[in-house]
Amino acid sequence: MLAAVLTDFNRLELREVPTPEPGEGEVLVRIKACGFCATDYKAIKGIRRNVRFPLIPGHEPAGVVAGVGAGVKHVKEGDEVIIQPSGFCGTCPQCRMGLHHYCSQSFVTGGDGPEDVRPGSFAEYTVTAATSVYPKPKHISFDAACQTEPVSGAWKGVVHTSQMQVGDDVVVIGTGGIGMYCLMVAKAAGAGRLIAIDISDYALETARRLGATHTINPLREDARTAVYDILPDGPDVIIESAGPIEAVKLMVSLLRRGTRWNVFGITTHETFELDGGLMHFLEARMDASFGTNPLAMQKAIRLIERGLVDPEKVISHRFPLTEIHKAVEVMESPKRNKVIIYP
């Protein structure tokens, strides 16, 4: 099969590699569409260093079951499915408490986090655990379906972890692909005023179309002053979905008493300072959210199926796998949202 193989930082090669075969409890999926996440981009460019080579990136896939291993009964060849990139054992204490994303034996296909990183979906086929695939609703496209994982991450961060409530005033810092889904989830969950902050006017224009009540470009105005002009009492929830450490520092500067703030987008090991006494006084609650789990995946499927979040509105570019290097170039551009790869 054809696959994009990362052999070193800045060395992504299109190669013919053996098509994998499903083992016991596994399924083989013919990939129809796979989202290009910033996590993939950071691995390719060496911004994220926790990478073991060779690696087939790509962890936002959907496709068609092409084969099943022994013992698999709930899916069959020909089923259209969505892949959760993370896998779990189901029997460790964390799994049995519903914390599958803390599983002590977890793996990920093409992504980040666990020690066990398996080949991802910038390839024609992917093998994964049968427990990591979900039925794709018939009426949603493969483009939309492959965005279930990032939508699930947005739901998990905004609603489940930071406990956004109807009427909350929400600030989303960084409106790339994942930030746009955070914004859409917040809108669907009943956000009051919804402020998008980004240094890309292109991204902010999209954010306005998708429901942001206000947009701020920190390159054009002081972001803290602008936020407090809109929200004199300050934000209830702040989601950092940008990635750079400057976004985290901006988030800290926006806190008022009782703000819930989520370190969501940054994945690199950088530091920022907190005033301990001020944090004590503010009672601002810091959260973080990484990855997904079965609950979040099911919630995301429902959001997409019901039309409450429409990933088609976030997708800006589509490339065949043979043009993966063009896709990498687009990922470097401020004039893009979500990029989709067709293996």
The model's pLDDT over 158-215, given as tens digits with 9 standing for 90+, comes to 999 999 999 999 999 999 999 999 999 999 999 999 999 999 999 999 999 999 999 9
> Could you give the C-alpha distances from 13 to 4, 190, 227, in angstroms and in order?
5, 44, 44
Q: Write the DSSP string, 61-80.
A: EEEEEEEE-TT--S--TT-E
Domain tally, the chain: 2
**∠ at Cα 267 (99, 176), nearest 5°?**
100
CA 316, CA 253: separation in Å to the nearest integer?
Answer: 32
Residues 124 and 250 in one domain: no
Q: Which residues contact 150 (CB under 8 A, 6 or more apart)?
A: 35, 37, 60, 177, 178, 181, 338
What pLDDT score was predicted for residue 268? 84
DSSP states of 20-47: P---TTEEEEEEEEEEE-HHHHHHHHTS
Residue 177 contacts residue 37 (beta carbons within 8 Å): yes
124 and 182 in a single domain? The answer is no
Question: For 266-298, what is each residue's pLDDT tens digit?
Answer: 888 899 999 999 999 999 999 999 999 999 999
Query: CA–CA separation, 157 vs 296, rounded Å?
Result: 10
3-state helix, strand, coil in the chain (%, to 5): 30, 25, 45
Average pLDDT, stretch 251-271? 94
Domain endpoint, select from 288, 305, 324: 288
* pLDDT over 90 (residue 221): yes
In a domain? residue 299: no
pTM to 2 decimals?
0.96
Q: Domain of 49: which CATH number? A: 3.90.180.10
- List, in sequence order, the alpha helices (H) in the chain: 38-45, 93-96, 142-145, 148-155, 177-188, 201-209, 223-230, 245-253, 276-282, 294-305, 324-331
Same-domain check for residues 23 and 71: yes
164 in a structural domain: yes
Residue 278, domain CATH: 3.40.50.720
User: What are the structure tokens assigned to 259, written together?
Assistant: 């703000």
Q: Report residue 84: phi and psi, to 5°.
A: -80, 120
* 308 domain residue, yes or no: no
Residues 105 and 127 in one domain: yes
- Compute the half-sphere exposure of residue 203: CA atoms within 13 Å on the CB side of its CA: 27
Structural domain containing residue 67 = 2-147+314-342
Verify that 11 and 132 share a domain, yes or no.
yes
Return the pLDDT at 244.
92
> Does position 334 have pLDDT exceeding 90, yes or no?
no
Cis bond before residue 54 (omega within 30° of 0): yes
Same domain, yes or no: 67 and 198: no
Q: Where among 247, 272, 288 does a domain terminate? A: 288
Question: How high is the pLDDT of residue 113?
Answer: 87
Residue 244 domain flag? yes
CA separation for the pair 142, 308 (Å, rounded): 17
